Amino acid sequence: MKLRALALVGLLTSGLMTTTHASDIELVKIMSALQYFTHKTTLAVDAENPELAAFYAHELEELIEELEEVESYHNQPIASFVTAILEPSFETLEDQIKDNNWPQSSAAMNALIDSCNKCHQATQHGFIVIERRANNPYFQQF
């Protein structure tokens, strides 16, 4: 009886100690969301809309935090690259948006996009090139 109880406790708590493995992650989904919110943040910055820019920057921050938990994906140190390359440019962007400094926010947006491309180069995915676009394909006012 004690053995069954211990087995049940082990089974119930096993999910609490799991780590995310590369095989469990669909990095393309995270990257697609990152691209989506980067574009929306860009449009909000271009429109000098502080509330919307801050809202979308927060969404970017959540995705960056999610990426920082991906230690390795297909033998690439994703978390290390995100921490070293992407996070500093995001923090600059976030600060400029908070200060309503739109020329510097725009420059920081460019730096963030450059960071994306640097990560792609570092992970042998340089064929994925992110570009800043001013067109608004969304049914949304910025």
CATH of the domain at 70: 1.20.120
Residue 2 included in any domain = no
pLDDT tens track for 23-73: 557 899 999 999 999 999 999 999 999 999 999 999 999 999 999 999 999
Q: Containing domain of residue 30, as a range?
A: 21-122
Assigned domain for 130 exists:
no
Residue 15 is predicted with a pLDDT of: 42
- Which has the closest alpha carbon to 43: 136, 113, 131, 117? 136
What pTM value is reported for the model? 0.81
Nearest CA-CA partner of 66 in 37, 27, 98: 27
Residue 58: inside a domain: yes
